Every structure is written in structure tokens, then in C-alpha cells.
């Protein structure tokens, strides 16, 4: 299983993150930072005896954190040739991060529909955005 897990401490304005193959993205003042995941899955993995690392960082007002499955980036285009890919996904999130979260949700869905056209969905898709206000 792949997963990104965060714990938000609102008293300290701190986030603790750990990931199994799934990174998270932090966008602060228009700059996207990728918090990298451990390169192993939970469960059956030859490195399952190794501990997962955790990273702590502080959040600021207007920061946005994105957590997601690999489904969005794995979707094929309308010609069933190219995947959306991580680079395009990062660019999309950077371009919409200042918008209200409901608008971001609409844009993310619309972009995916435009990308896929009539091509069948190839994987589960989950995108979670969290915007901090204070």
C-alpha cells in the first residue's frame, strides 16, 4: 500500500509528514516544495523491516498542502498514449493554488476530463488540498 500521512498540530503550527511512496506538495508564496516519501510500500516490501522516516515543518497562513494518490498522474490522454505525469500535475497545482479550494476542485476535475476525453479511467483518483488561514 502507498500512503501519505500528515498530523497537523495547530497549536505549534506544525505538520509532521511520513509517506510510503506518496509525497506531498507544499505551496508557499507560489513556490512548490515536494516533501519526498520513503521509497517503500507498507506491507509486502523487501525493506519492510526498515522504519519510515518522518519530517516536521511549520506552516504559515496561505500555505496549501496537497496529498494525492498516483491516479491523477497515471491517467492517459484522449489518444491513450501519454500519461498526465507528475510535472504537469505540479504545474497545475501551482497555477491554481491561490484560488479558493472549491474552485481548485472544479479546475482539477475539468482539467482531468479535458485530458482524458473518452479514454477510460485507469486508476483510482484522490486529491486532497488543505489551505491554512492562521
Contact 134, 58 (CB under 8 A): no
- Assign residue 18 the CATH number of its domain: 3.60.40.10
Q: Report residue 45's pLDDT band, with 50, 70 and 90 as the boundaries.
A: low
Question: Which residues span the domain enclosing 115?
Answer: 3-131
Contact 67, 24 (CB under 8 A): yes
pLDDT in tens, 66-106: 999 999 999 999 999 999 999 999 999 999 999 999 999 99
How many independent structural domains does the chain possess?
1
Count of residues for the chain?
A: 134
Contact 2, 24 (CB under 8 A): no
Q: Residues with Cβ < 8 Å from 45, sequence gap 6 or more?
A: none
Is pLDDT at 31 greater than 90 in this prediction? yes
Amino acid at each position: 500500500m502507498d500512503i501519505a500521512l500528515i498530523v497537523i498540530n495547530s497549536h505549534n503550527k506544525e505538520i509532521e509528514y511520513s509517506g510510503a511512496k506518496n509525497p506531498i506538495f507544499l505551496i508557499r508564496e507560489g513556490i512548490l516544495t515536494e516533501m519526498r516519501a520513503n521509497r517503500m510500500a507498507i506491507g509486502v516490501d523487501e525493506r519492510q523491516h526498515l522504519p519510515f522516516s518522518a519530517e516536521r515543518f511549520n506552516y504559515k497562513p496561505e500555505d496549501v498542502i496537497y496529498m494525492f494518490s498516483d491516479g491523477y498522474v497515471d491517467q492517459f490522454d484522449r489518444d491513450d498514449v501519454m500519461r498526465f505525469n507528475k510535472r504537469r500535475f505540479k504545474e497545475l497545482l501551482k497555477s491554481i493554488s491561490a484560488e479558493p479550494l472549491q474552485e481548485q476542485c472544479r479546475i482539477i476535475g475539468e482539467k482531468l476530463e479535458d485530458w482524458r476525453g473518452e479514454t477510460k479511467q485507469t486508476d483510482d483518483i484522490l486529491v486532497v488540498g488543505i489551505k491554512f488561514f492562521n
